[in-house]
Amino acid sequence: MELPKRAFKLTTTHQLAPVILPYILLLIASITVFLRFWARKIRKAGYGADDWLVLLAIVLSWPYQVSNTLAFTEGGATIPITVIMTQYPTALPSLIKAVTASNIICTTTITILQISVLFFYLRIFGVNRWLRYSAISLIIICFLYWASYFIAQLLTCRPLHKFFYPMSPGTCMNQYAFCAAEGLIHVILDFAVLLLPIPLIWRLQTGHGSKIVLSGLFLTGTFASITSLIKLTCLIPYSFIDSADLSGSIWYSILMQAIETPLGIICTCVPTLPPVWGAFKESKPGMYAMNFLSSVWSRSTLGSSKDSSRSPPGAKFSNSKDFQRLDGSYAANVDALRRGDRSCQEDVIPLNDFEANQRTAGYGNGTIQVEKSWNVDR
């Protein structure tokens, strides 16, 4: 007896992970999109095409994740194809429809994100002719890639009905070749978009540290690009995936693809968020948090400095941390003090990076009172 719709329960890890984890990442992605618009408001820079495209991407991502969920609850993803065909034959078309809808929405969302990043480059580096022409060219290429993918999906099988009902008569294109070509073009476009501003960043008149930080911000999308690469099960053989078992092994591709979209949105928004971080540090909660972290850091460094600045054997200075360098004059003074000569006590200078006033150190049973003050340059 065939189970009714939505009768497939999600109980295993392979069923729960592709459903729950993407929703968590999508929630984080939605927050980053909100913070992106807040950052624009803080800087009073105005909203551009890149911002509205990211907003469109996050809107499309929610029905995309719903479609992925339907692949498990109605299509029986993770259930072996032999069980699907014998016990739940109507579930296979539901699975194919859900996966096809997910692929189309995912490709559309990723293309929108790529174009959004390119418009972001035009906003920042648009005065550079080479980057402007390159970005515009990539925008056209990304759009043509999306259009060709959409048309290829419509022409996958003749008639199209066969694509959703594989047992019906008709012919279909080579799915392996289609997966490999589409996946490789997608990955190449990803890295082309990410690497586009890097040569320009390294020609900026700034320090190497700033260049590294800027490059890191613009390359955060690498995480999403790597995800798009490892999801290509048609090119990368995995021991836990049976290519002949469509329904039983498709969970991995769904998981990687479902993670790629929110990761891409998060990485796209990260370079725009520094104003939000600056506003947070200036707010009361931010000041409290920074003061707390500073106090924790000071305590940890103070504890380590106490361990590393112990007095040498034979010396009993209680404040030996104030005398961090034993140069010739210091050693001579220590010898004089051991002989009982206190005439040189004012020559002992603490070498901290701040103004020292009246430092007291104990030596033996006596006390050295420093009456002078010094300003020591850093």
Domains of the chain, start order = 13-275 (1.20.1070), 308-374 (no CATH)
Tokens describing residue 353: 């990076």
Which amino acid, residue 237? P
pLDDT-flagged residues of the chain (< 50): 1-6, 311, 314-331, 334, 337-338, 342-378
pLDDT of residue 6: 47
Do 249 and 243 meet the contact criterion of CB atoms below 8 Å apart? yes
Phi, psi of 369 (to 5 degrees): -100, 120
pLDDT of residue 306: 54
Tokens describing residue 53: 């495209």
pLDDT of residue 302: 61
What are the tens digits of pLDDT across the range 340-374? 554 444 444 343 333 333 333 443 444 444 444 44
pLDDT of residue 238: 63
Coil, strand or helix: which one is 222?
A: helix
Contacts of 376 (CB under 8 A, 6+ apart): 349, 350, 351, 352, 353, 354, 355, 356
